[in-house]
Structure 1
Amino acid sequence: MTAKKRVDTAVLDGMDKPAVGPTGRPLRVFPVPERLTGHGPARIIALCNQKGGVGKTTTAINLGASLAHYGRKVLAVDFDPQGALSAGLGVSAHDVTNIYDLLLGTVKDAHDAIQPTSVAGLDVIPANIDLSAAEVHLVNEVAREQILARVLRQVIDEYDVILVDCQPSLGILTVNALTAAHGVLIPLECEFFALRGVALLVETIDKVKDRLNPALKLDGILPTMFDSRTLHSREVLERAVERFEDQVFDTVISRTVKFPDASVAASPILEFAPEHPASMAYLQFARELISRGAVA
Structure 2
Amino acid sequence: MSGDQHEASELPGMPDMLPGPTGRPLRTFPEPAPLSSHGPARIIALCNQKGGVGKTTTTISLGAALAEYGRRVLAIDFDPQGALSAGLGVASHDVPTIYDLLIGREKDIRQTIQSTSTPGLDVVPANIDLSAAEVHLVNEVAREQILARVLRPVLDEYDVILVDCQPSLGLLTVNALTAAHGVLIPLECEYFALRGVALLVETIEKVKDRLNPALELDAILATMYDSRTLHSREVLQRVVDAFGDSVLETVIGRTVKFPDATVAGTPITTFAPDHPAAGAYRQLARELIARGHAA
Q: Distance in 1 between matches of 2:21 and 2:59?
A: 22
Shift of 1:265: 0.6
1:230 aligns to 2:229 (yes or no): yes
- CA separation of 1:207 and 1:272: change in aligned 2, threshold 3 A: same
Q: Distance in 2 between matches of 1:87 and 1:79?
A: 13
- 1:96 maps to a residue whose letter is V
1:188 aligns to 2:224 (yes or no): no
Moved more, 248-257 or 15-24: 15-24
Q: Which residue of 1 aligns with 2:11?
A: 13
Q: Which residue of 1 aligns with 2:79?
A: 80
Q: Which residue of 2 aligns with 1:163?
A: 162
Q: Which residue of 1 aligns with 2:58?
A: 59
Q: Distance in 2 between matches of 1:130 and 1:120?
A: 28
Q: Which residue of 1 aligns with 2:4?
A: none
- 2:234 maps to a residue whose letter is E
Structure 1 contact 21–250 (Cα < 8 Å) conserved? yes
Moved more, 11-20 or 229-238: 11-20
Per-residue Cα deviation, 1:168-208 (whole angstroms, up to 9, x for no partner): 00000000000000000000000001011011000000000
Structure 2 contact 252–281 (Cα < 8 Å) conserved? yes
Shift of 1:15: 8.6
Q: Which has the higher strand share?
A: 2
Structure 1 contact 273–279 (Cα < 8 Å) conserved? yes
- 2:67 maps to a residue whose letter is A
Q: Distance in 2 between matches of 1:249 and 1:24?
A: 11
Q: Distance in 1 between matches of 2:170 and 2:21?
A: 33
Q: State how 1:242-253 maps to structure 2 within 5 Å.
A: 242-253=241-252
Q: Distance in 1 between matches of 2:210 and 2:222?
A: 28
- 2:269 maps to a residue whose letter is L
Q: 3-state SS of the aligned residue for 1:93?
A: coil
1:23 aligns to 2:26 (yes or no): no
Shift of 1:16: 3.5
Per-residue Cα deviation, 1:98-150 (whole angstroms, up to 9, x for no partner): 00000001110010000000000000000000000000000000000000000
- 1:148 maps to a residue whose letter is L
Q: State how 1:112-131 maps to structure 2 within 5 Å.
A: 112-131=111-130
Q: Which aligned runs of 4 or more in structure 1 are off by greater than 6 angstroms? A: none
Shift of 1:12: 2.7
Q: Distance in 2 between matches of 1:29 and 1:256?
A: 22
Structure 2 contact 9–18 (Cα < 8 Å) conserved? no
Q: 3-state SS of the aligned residue for 1:225?
A: strand
Q: State how 1:123-162 maps to structure 2 within 5 Å.
A: 123-162=122-161
Q: Distance in 2 between matches of 1:154 and 1:223?
A: 33
Q: Distance in 1 between matches of 2:266 and 2:13?
A: 26
1:50 aligns to 2:74 (yes or no): no
Q: Which residue of 2 aligns with 1:269?
A: 268
Structure 1 contact 16–29 (Cα < 8 Å) conserved? no
Q: Which residue of 2 aligns with 1:33?
A: 32
Shift of 1:11: 7.4
Q: Which residue of 1 aligns with 2:253?
A: 254
Shift of 1:13: 1.7
Q: Tell me the TM-score normalized by structure 2.
A: 0.96
Per-residue Cα deviation, 1:4-33 (whole angstroms, up to 9, x for no partner): xxxxx9873279313111111111110000
- CA separation of 1:201 and 1:13: change in aligned 2, threshold 3 A: same
Q: Distance in 1 between matches of 2:13 and 2:95?
A: 44
Runs (5+) with no aligned partner, structure 2? 1-6
Q: 3-state SS of the aligned residue for 2:222?
A: strand
Structure 2 contact 183–217 (Cα < 8 Å) conserved? yes
Runs (5+) with no aligned partner, structure 1? 1-8
Q: 3-state SS of the aligned residue for 1:176?
A: helix
Aligned residues between the structures: 288
- 1:131 maps to a residue whose letter is L
* Two-structure CA RMSD over aligned residues (Å): 1.2
Q: State how 1:98-117 maps to structure 2 within 5 Å.
A: 98-117=97-116
- CA separation of 1:10 and 1:39: change in aligned 2, threshold 3 A: farther
Structure 1 contact 11–280 (Cα < 8 Å) conserved? no
Q: Distance in 2 between matches of 1:256 and 1:16?
A: 25
